Chain A
Amino acid sequence: MSCTMRFFHASSMIGILFSAAAFGQTPVPEAGLPVTDAVTVAKCGTCHARDKAGNMERISLQRTTPEGWQDVVKRMIVIHGASLSPVEARSIVKYLSTFHGLTPEEARPVMYEAERRIREETIPNENVRKTCAQCHSVARALSWRRSQEEWKQFTEAHAQRYKFAVKEEVTTFLTKAAPLLTPEWTAWNKRNAAENAEGRWLVTASLPGRGKYTGELHVEPAGGDEFTTSLRLTSVRDGSSIVRSGRSAVYGGYAWRGRSKGDKAPVTADDPSSETREVMWIAPDQQMAEGRWYWGQYQEFGFDVQLRRPGREPTLLLTEPTALKVGVKSARVRLMGDSFPLEGNPDFGPGVAVQRIISRTASEVVAEVDVAADAASGRRDVVLRGSRLAGALAIYDRIDYVMLTPESAMAAFSDREHPRGYQQFEAIGYQRGADGKAMTADDVSLGPVDATWWVEVFYALPGSDPETVGRMTASGLFVPATHNPDANFDIWVVATARAETDRNGKPLTAKAYLVVTVPSYVFNGRRFVRDLDRWVDNGPATDPK
Chain B
Amino acid sequence: MKQGLLAGAVWCGLLLMPPAVEGHHGYSAFDTKSEVTFEATVTEFHFTNPHSVLEFEVKQEGQVQKWQVEMGSRRQLTLHGWTATTIEAGSKLTITGYKAKNGSRAMWATKLLGADGKEIRITREN
* A residues whose Cβ falls under 8 Å from a Cβ of B: 1-2, 5, 67, 70-71, 74, 113, 116, 118, 120-121, 123, 129-130, 133-137, 139-140, 277, 297-300, 407-408, 410, 439-440, 458-462, 488-490, 511-513, 515, 517, 521, 523-524, 528, 530-535, 543-545
- Chain B residues whose CB sits within 8 angstroms of the CB of A440 once the complex forms: 85
Q: Is the CB of A135 within 8 A of B13?
A: yes
- Chosen A-B contacts, 27 in total, with CB atoms closer than 8 Å, are A2-B47, A2-B85, A5-B74, A116-B4, A118-B15, A120-B16, A123-B16, A130-B18, A135-B12, A136-B12, A137-B12, A139-B8, A298-B7, A298-B10, A299-B7, A459-B25, A459-B106, A460-B102, A461-B102, A462-B101, A513-B50, A515-B24, A521-B23, A524-B18, A524-B19, A532-B5, A533-B8
Contact residues on B (Cβ < 8 Å of other chain), bracket: 35 or more
Ranked 10 nearest A-B pairs via Cβ: A545-B28, A533-B5, A523-B23, A523-B22, A1-B84, A136-B9, A408-B49, A515-B24, A2-B84, A488-B24
Q: Which residue of B lies closest to A461 (CB)?
A: B25
User: Of residues 45 to 73 in B, which have CB atoms within 8 Å of A's CB atoms?
Assistant: 46-51, 53, 68
Q: Is the CB of B1 within 8 A of A74?
A: yes
Q: Is the CB of A513 within 8 A of B102?
A: no
Q: Is the CB of A530 within 8 A of B106?
A: no
- Tell me how far the C-beta of A22 lies from the nearest C-beta in chain B, rounded to whole angstroms: 25
The CA of A135 and the CA of B48, in the complex, are separated in Å by 20
Chain B, 63-100, contact with A by CB distance < 8 Å: what is the 0/1 string? Answer: 00000100000110000000111000000000000001
The CA of A295 and the CA of B36, in the complex, are separated in Å by 46
Q: Is the CB of A530 within 8 A of B100?
A: no
Q: Is the CB of A459 within 8 A of B102?
A: yes
The CA of A181 and the CA of B3, in the complex, are separated in Å by 32
Report if A533-B50 is in contact (Cβ < 8 Å); known contacts: A2-B84, A134-B16: no
Q: Is the CB of B3 within 8 A of A299?
A: yes
Residue in B16, B68, B102, B106 whose CB lies within 8 Å of A121: B16
Beyond the given A118-B15, A133-B12, please list 10 additional residue pairs across the A-B interface where CB-CB is below 8 A. A116-B8, A120-B74, A123-B75, A297-B3, A459-B25, A459-B100, A511-B44, A523-B26, A535-B9, A543-B22
Q: Is the CB of A299 within 8 A of B24?
A: no
The CA of A410 and the CA of B75, in the complex, are separated in Å by 18
Report if A120-B8 is in contact (Cβ < 8 Å); known contacts: A299-B3, A408-B50, A543-B22: no
Q: Is the CB of B8 within 8 A of A531?
A: no
- Chain A residues whose CB sits within 8 angstroms of the CB of B26 once the complex forms: 523, 543-545
Q: Is the CB of B8 within 8 A of A137?
A: yes
Chain B, 4-42, contact with A by CB distance < 8 Å: what is the 0/1 string? Answer: 111111111111101100111111110000000000000
Q: Which residue of A lies closest to B14 (CB)?
A: A410
- Tell me how far the C-beta of A488 lies from the nearest C-beta in chain B, rounded to whole angstroms: 5
- Chain A residues whose CB sits within 8 angstroms of the CB of B24 once the complex forms: 488-490, 515, 517, 521
- Residue B118 at the A interface, CB < 8 A? no
- Which among B2, B5, B22, B102 has the greatest number of chain A C-beta atoms within 10 A? B5
- Tell me how far the C-beta of A507 lies from the nearest C-beta in chain B, rounded to whole angstroms: 13
Residue in A1, A74, A277 whose CB lies within 8 Å of B48: A1
- Chain A residues whose CB sits within 8 angstroms of the CB of B29 once the complex forms: 459, 461
Residue in A67, A513, A534, A543 whose CB lies within 8 Å of B9: A534
Q: Is the CB of B49 within 8 A of A407?
A: yes
Q: Is the CB of B6 within 8 A of A298?
A: yes
- Chain B residues whose CB sits within 8 angstroms of the CB of A544 once the complex forms: 22, 26
Q: Is the CB of B12 within 8 A of A462?
A: no
- Chain B residues whose CB sits within 8 angstroms of the CB of A134 once the complex forms: 13, 16, 18
The CA of A2 and the CA of B45, in the complex, are separated in Å by 12
Q: Which residue of B lies closest to A530 (CB)?
A: B10
Q: Which residue of A lies closest to B47 (CB)?
A: A1
Q: Is the CB of A533 within 8 A of B22?
A: no
The CA of A27 and the CA of B109, in the complex, are separated in Å by 48
- Chain B residues whose CB sits within 8 angstroms of the CB of A118 once the complex forms: 7, 11, 15
Q: Which residue of A lies closest to B88 (CB)?
A: A439
Q: Is the CB of A299 within 8 A of B4?
A: yes
- Chain B residues whose CB sits within 8 angstroms of the CB of A462 once the complex forms: 101-102
Q: Is the CB of B12 within 8 A of A458?
A: no
The CA of A511 and the CA of B45, in the complex, are separated in Å by 10
- Tell me how far the C-beta of A499 lies from the nearest C-beta in chain B, rounded to whole angstroms: 22
The CA of A139 and the CA of B11, in the complex, are separated in Å by 13
The CA of A524 and the CA of B23, in the complex, are separated in Å by 8
Residue in A71, A120, A277, A528 whose CB lies within 8 Å of B10: A528
- Chain A residues whose CB sits within 8 angstroms of the CB of B100 once the complex forms: 459
- Chain B residues whose CB sits within 8 angstroms of the CB of A5 once the complex forms: 74, 84
Q: Is the CB of A533 within 8 A of B15?
A: no
- Chain A residues whose CB sits within 8 angstroms of the CB of B74 once the complex forms: 1, 5, 120
- Chain A residues whose CB sits within 8 angstroms of the CB of B23 once the complex forms: 488, 515, 517, 521, 523
Q: Which residue of B lies closest to A140 (CB)?
A: B8
